[in-house]
Structure 1
Amino acid sequence: MSEVSTRAWTRPYDWAEVVIGVVAALSPLWLSTNTTMVWTMVVLGALIAIDGLVSLAAPSMVYGEGVQIVLGALLFIAPWVMGYTEFNGASWTSWVGGALVIIAGAAAMPEANAAHRMAGQH
């Protein structure tokens, strides 16, 4: 970790989370769907994007990355839990998007912890 970014709107992992969330939320527009899949993807995608925006706006809030990891895990398991595994495009969007959100959250955790420590020193 070279330099800890405590400036808002600068962390690439959080921008990735926003993009993944938007793609998940909008994916029912171009994927074969059912009602359960649409609501699952829209709600989880929106929550992921909102969490990313909150993390971007307040980079020293450590819990945002934990929320991100939980939301990524929910997106990953959604095809099985919500029963839309027969929709290949939606399932793969959930699996890949969820895994990427988990990875981004885990990768951002050390930087968020450092930013939180730095914010506490001021």
Structure 2
Amino acid sequence: MKEKVHPQDFVALIAGAYAILSPIWTTTESRATTTMIVLGAITVALAIVELVRPDMLPAEGGTALMGVLFIVSPWVMGFADTTPMAWTAWIVGAVTLAVGALDLQTTRTHRAAASH
């Protein structure tokens, strides 16, 4: 049974793409650039999986996890003092975490309704 594509999957795709491209216009340094590109690419990949196969539950949890990783990355990777890129990571992380959690909840609600 193929479930319906959720609009929040497109938001995660856009957030990941923004993270990948953000070093072009944001003041950055090498660790921040690498971190944003890697986390952004993984987020884009998860969003694409979710758009192609909306019934794959681990992808939704992965999107929310990517949001958490974006949020903690400035401290973990040591670029919290690069304020523009740190704020980019925090904002992209908050958006990704929110849509990942919403997608996970929506999918679980649909599955619970379908099983009754």
Same fold (TM over 0.5): yes
Post-superposition Cα deviations, 1:39-66, rounded to whole Å, max 9, x if no partner, equal 0000001101110110011011111111
- Give SS of 1:86's match: coil
| Partners of 1:83 and 1:105 in 2: CA distance | 25
Aligned to 1:91: 86
Aligned to 1:112: 107
Distance 1:115 1:61, change over 3 A: farther
| Partners of 2:74 and 2:18 in 1: CA distance | 16
Post-superposition Cα deviations, 1:55-91, rounded to whole Å, max 9, x if no partner, equal 0110111111111111111111000111111211101
Distance 1:116 1:59, change over 3 A: farther
| Partners of 2:54 and 2:108 in 1: CA distance | 9
The offset of 1:113, in angstroms, is 2.5
Post-superposition Cα deviations, 1:9-68, rounded to whole Å, max 9, x if no partner, equal x31111000000000011000111111111000000110111011001101111111111
Contact 1:65 1:108 in 2 (8 A): yes
Contact 1:33 1:87 in 2 (8 A): yes
| Partners of 1:115 and 1:26 in 2: CA distance | 34
What is the aligned-residue identity percentage?
A: 31
| Partners of 2:38 and 2:92 in 1: CA distance | 14
Contact 1:61 1:112 in 2 (8 A): no
1:40 aligns with 2:35: yes
After TM superposition, list the pairs within 5 Å mapping 1:65-80 onto structure 2: 65-80=60-75
| Partners of 2:93 and 2:108 in 1: CA distance | 22
- Give SS of 2:28's match: coil
The offset of 1:110, in angstroms, is 2.5
